[in-house]
Amino acid sequence: MIALLTGATAFTEHRPPPRPRPPDGPLGWAGYDAARRRAAARTGEEESVVYGTGSVGGRACVLLSFEFGFLGGSLGGPTGDRLTAAYELALARRLPLLALVATGGSRMQEGMVALTQLQRVAAASVRLRVAGIPQIAVVRDPTTGGGWATVGAGADVVLALPGAQIGFAGSRVRPPDADPYAYSAEGQFAAGQVDAVVPPGELATAVAHWLHALGPHEALPPAPVPRALPPAGEPSRAEAADAGTVEAAVTEPAHAATEGTADAEPAHAATEGTADAEPAHAATEGTADAEPAHPGTEGAAGAGSAPRLPATGREAVARARDPRRPRAEAYLADCFPVRLPLHGDRSGGTDPGLLTGFGLRADGRPVAYVAQCGTPTRPAGYRAAARTIRLADRLGVPVLTLVDTPGAANDAEAERAGAGAAIADAFAAIAAARVPVTTLVIGEGGSGGALALASPDNTHVAADSYFSVIAPELAAAILKRAPSETGATADQLRLRPQDLVELGIARSIVT
């Protein structure tokens, strides 16, 4: 398995210092030494784990690999020695840890001595986390018991091979009527416990990308503000105009930011050295009050000029709800040539309306992303967002959030799933982040469900977006107004992009 990832690159095996052990192990289990000798003869290994240093896709790392043929890849005292030594090696050299896991769990012949190895592994893993060293697990068939509950599920990123049996309960200890799908790689992915199911032929590339994205890194700059995108089916301004003739406009608050000034805001995620990196357009205060085009009309993202801004609050809402405006997938594809999704909240839930992961920019720099897709965000989505933000913060990777939701899911199921606690967790993750967080509101910014994923001091808004204390319809209902007054309520809420800049909620309008 190691050779599948490292290829022709040398792998240097390490071994912990030997220590004396009693005959037939700590319990004096009759035949245990003989079983170990047979396993060694069959596999060519002295224990169920091999570890050392190597390189995957040119990225150095510490690798540890379970040999399932050695007593079912079980964990005993000698296994614990090797596992903790691998973690300590990664810590000493500040290299990411890559674990290739295939285990049946704790070794019966060593009893509680075997079981307590899980505590040793957990402690070693925590030391890596505190030091900001990433951990990746590739779970193979089978991965069960304590090995899954520590080395596997305890990693920052979990990749699984197709069809692998994965679960805390092994096949001989689970209920006889248990659904086998729940214990498969695909079932664990559906439950948000695995980030991706990766075929063997694609594994080396996937691992190399993850090693690149997770680091360790030196200080990274903030994520650039994404550039404006045209409505679906329309060419971008860069495509429609001759190269170099169109500038990406960013409406700045209270002053004209001219080209070359120190405080001009970037209009899009321009990668270093790319030909299409454009300077911020000089935008005067009056730009925010320009007569807008009607929502959804052709040319709203015009080929030769920036789209005009909405004249009223109701128009801003209509434009944000226009099905033709660009969505999160389009922005992420534009920002990142390589995307590495993180999947699930690790509590049994997923939210298809929220995308999280790490992306590699064209210049190779990593950015963690959290992107709402225009649907009410569910508790699992907020938990997945908090997980991603905290991982990025621990590894020193900047964060980009794309806000687009009419609000948090408010059905009974969402309440039972802990909507309030999940939203609070997302607010806390943003508030505690030491890395820079960049936010672009790309569509609807509905109440706290949107604000929970917004940067307090680096939020920007697209021209076809709005941000409001609550959706206008709900605001009208709270104020006991007739539905016919929803439009007037939207106007009063001052939710237009230019209003948000004037109120100090947003730093700029990306147009």
Q: Is the pLDDT of residue 115 over 90?
A: yes
**Tens of pLDDT, residues 279-301:** 333 333 333 333 333 333 233 33
Across 176-203, average pLDDT: 96
Host H or E run for residue 373: none
Query: Closest Cα to residue 388, out of 428, 357, 421, 418?
Result: 357
Q: Is the pLDDT of residue 151 over 80?
A: yes
Query: Closest Cα to residue 402, out of 459, 472, 463?
Result: 459
Query: Closest Cα to residue 435, out of 398, 409, 401?
Result: 398
Q: What are the distances in angstroms from CA 467 to CA 217, 230, 340? A: 34, 20, 29
Percent of the chain with pLDDT over 90: 81
**Torsion of Cα atoms, 404 then 354 then 227 then 432, to 10°:** 90
**Tens of pLDDT, residues 404-426:** 999 999 999 999 999 999 999 99
Task: Report how far residue 319's alpha carbon sits from residue 310's, in angstroms, rounded to the nearest whole number.
Answer: 8
Q: Tell me, what's the pLDDT at 420?
A: 97
DSSP letter assigned to residue 75? B
Q: Tell me, what's the pLDDT at 281?
A: 34
**Cis amide bond preceding 17, omega within 30:** no
Q: Which residues pair with 500 in a beta bridge?
A: none
Q: Is the pLDDT of residue 273 over 80?
A: no
Across 232-259, average pLDDT: 43
Q: Which residues pair with 55 in a beta bridge?
A: 60
Q: Which residue has the tokens 């890559």?
A: 98
Reported confidence tier of residue 232, pLDDT bands at 50, 70, 90: confident
Does this model's pTM top 0.95? My answer is no
Q: Tell me, what's the pLDDT at 37?
A: 97
Q: Is the pLDDT of residue 302 over 50?
A: no
Q: Is the pLDDT of residue 275 over 50?
A: no
More confident residue, 79 or 259: 79
Angle CA 183–186–188, to nearest 5: 55
Task: Report how far residue 430's alpha carbon sits from residue 414's, in angstroms, rounded to the nearest whole number.
Answer: 22
Task: Report how far residue 143's alpha carbon sits from residue 148's, in angstroms, rounded to the nearest whole number.
Answer: 6
**Tens of pLDDT, residues 139-149:** 999 999 999 99
Q: Tell me, what's the pLDDT at 282?
A: 33
Query: Is residue 475 a contact partner of residue 428, using CB atoms and an 8 Å limit?
Result: no
Q: Which residues pair with 249 in a beta bridge?
A: 281
The residue type at 227: R
| Interior/surface letters 110-128, b for 16+ CB within 10 angstroms, e for the rest | beebbbbbbebbeebbeeb
**Tens of pLDDT, residues 324-351:** 999 999 999 999 999 999 999 999 999 9
Q: Tell me, what's the pLDDT at 357?
A: 98
Query: Closest Cα to residue 372, out of 382, 362, 363?
Result: 382
**Tens of pLDDT, residues 28-50:** 999 999 999 999 999 999 999 99
Query: Is residue 204 a contact partner of residue 54, using CB atoms and an 8 Å limit?
Result: no
Percent of the chain with pLDDT over 70: 86
- DSSP labels for 194-245? -SEE--HHHHHHHHHHHHHHH---S--PPPPPPPP-PPTTS--HHHHS-TTS
Q: What are the distances in angstroms from CA 202 to CA 44, 140, 161, 162, 199? A: 28, 14, 10, 11, 5
Ramachandran angles phi, psi of 491, nearest 5°: -65, -40
SS3 361: coil
Q: Tell me, what's the pLDDT at 362?
A: 96
Q: What is the mean pLDDT of the chain?
A: 88
Q: Tell me, what's the pLDDT at 486?
A: 93
**Tens of pLDDT, residues 448-481:** 999 999 999 999 999 999 999 999 999 999 999 9
Ramachandran angles phi, psi of 160, nearest 5°: -130, 145
Q: At what angle do helices 379-395 and 419-432 cross, to 10 degrees?
A: 20
Task: Report how far residue 224's alpha carbon sits from residue 271's, in angstroms, rounded to the nearest whole number.
Answer: 9
Q: Tell me, what's the pLDDT at 239?
A: 52
